[in-house]
Amino acid sequence: MIVSLVLVILFLLQSKLTPELDVNARIDRIEVYKSQRVLKVFSGDKELKSYSISLGFSPRGDKQIEGDGKTPEGKYFIDRKNPKSAFYLNLGVSYPTEEQKLVAQKEGRDPGGLIKIHGLQNGWGWMGRLHLLRDWTAGCIALTNGEIKELYDHVPVGTPIFIYP
């Protein structure tokens, strides 16, 4: 019991151990490694920071249809910012591409959409890093509220994002 409590406390404190991005940092590329549950941000060739993430509830494989719980794979870009998200703040990911829409249309399926990098659902921010205990989104990439605030402040619209298996 005490060991479990200590592990939970260490888990929660871990987010306090990573330094914040420099106020002048400019992120020009995002890379997501689904199998490692990591999002990395770069300026040029320099990795600025990495974040632990949660993914869609069924993360293996590439997103193909609405409701499959998968996080897409491939090259996209940040296409919008939403300061009034139901999940604190969010950065929109440009999924689906025109090609993905055509493939889905030919198969008579809906490719889905509204893929975001976001924080925790409003009212649930207190969970912090506990959200990392399982994949829970509908296909998005989830961070703590403090982490998405940091990205929101440093990632311009148009930033490329590469999502790997």
Q: Which residues are catalytic?
A: 118, 140
CB 113, CB 139: distance < 8 Å? no
Dihedral of the alpha carbons of 134, 135, 136, 138, in degrees to the nearest 10: -170
CB 69, CB 56: distance < 8 Å? yes
Question: How many Cβ atoms sit within 10 Å of the Cβ of residue 25?
Answer: 16
C-alpha closest to that of 110 among 120, 99, 100, 119: 100
